[in-house]
Amino acid sequence: MARISFKTAKTNFMEISTELAIGDKAWKIRDSKAVCFEVGCILYDGAVYYGENRYDVTIATQCFASKEELIKYVTSE
């Protein structure tokens, strides 16, 4: 779990908690295959995104902490 803190124009302080932290391993689907990647950046733009770098990010709802979680998500109805 990671906490991201920053100042905003409207409020003095904002804190966002994420399920994954920099350096964690995560799973996602890329080109119809399950792939593992190391979280190298976390972006927030109204939603949380994880990526190996800032040019290849995936929304948090499509990233999973384990391959089993990914398989469960894919096979659920």
- Per-residue pLDDT tens digits of the chain, which is 77 residues long: 555 555 555 656 667 788 898 999 999 999 999 999 999 999 988 899 999 998 999 999 999 999 999 999 999 87
Burial letters 58-75, b for 16+ CB under 10 A, else e: bebeebbeeeeebeeeee
Q: Cα separation of 77 and 72, whole Å?
A: 10
Report the pLDDT value the prediction gives residue 11, as an integer from 0 to 100: 57
Report the pLDDT value the prediction gives residue 17, as an integer from 0 to 100: 82
